[in-house]
Amino acid sequence: MATRRSGLGRGLEALIPKSDDIRTGFAVIPIDRVSPNPHQPRSLFGEEALASLAASILEVGVLQPIIVREAEEGSYTLVAGERRWRAAKKVGLKEIPSIIRESDDRSLLTEALVENLQREDLSPLEEATAYQELLDDFGLTHEDVGNRVGKSRSAITNSLRLLQLPAAIQGKLERGELSAGHARALLGLEDRKFAEHIAERAVEEGWSVRQVEDAVRARNQAVGERNTGRRSVAARPAAIVELEQRLRDQMATRVRIKYANDRGKLIIDFSSLDDLERIYRQFFSA
């Protein structure tokens, strides 16, 4: 498989707004000189989600700079990127890449990020991380982001699903050892350790996306048979299987339908309280 240079340098360049009226400069600054924004509307940051982001930063680095403005000489206040800042501190980073801006005009910053998303050749993981920033720091919905970058809501949702992968798989994706197709196939596995095992084999043996899909399907079938006393998973009605897949795409998470004798259970996974709220809003959105 073709490999690519780590996305850190290129991704940072891609996401730095180019116009002088949007930013004053880029710098790598001491992380302990950055303070959170006292006006940050988001006050809860789930520990599980932060731990996952911290693991990703250890594996692939900080893919996007945080946005700060100078407070006093040598110190800075966050404008955007508090989750990345917190996660970077969690793993012990001493410095963090930053865009230093003179003002706090969030609408200008949003438009600058959207413009760069439309223009630059980002890796799949860099693109997903940029979408997540627009959701976290600017309160946009999946549909809002899609409208702004000219993509469907489902395309945004599927891109964001890549951030649910274990950090080790994210690293392989960012280094170009796995494609986005390989990565999306691995999202179908509940067992994260086994997903990492399949990813390792796919890299070492040069598997195609179809081979990864087949391995995921075989694993899920074996687990299903074991959990149902060796009954074949193939006996599930096709309509149930199709509905399960549609719900996975819609919810951007793992969904399982357990069905027998016209009764069953719907099980929807979530990775944090924030993720649970996102899923809840999808059920009750217009």
d(CA 20, CA 51): 35
Amino acid identity of 122? L
Tokens 């964001």, located at residue? 160
Catalytic residue among 82, 126, 133, 174: 82
Distance CA 264, CA 255 (A): 13
Distance CA 20, CA 54 (A): 31
Give Cα separations from 26 to 13, 179, 202, 214 (angstroms).
Answer: 9, 30, 38, 45
Contacts of 117 (CB under 8 A, 6+ apart): 127, 130, 131, 149
Question: Is 190 labeled as catalytic in the residue annotation?
Answer: no
Catalytic positions are: 82
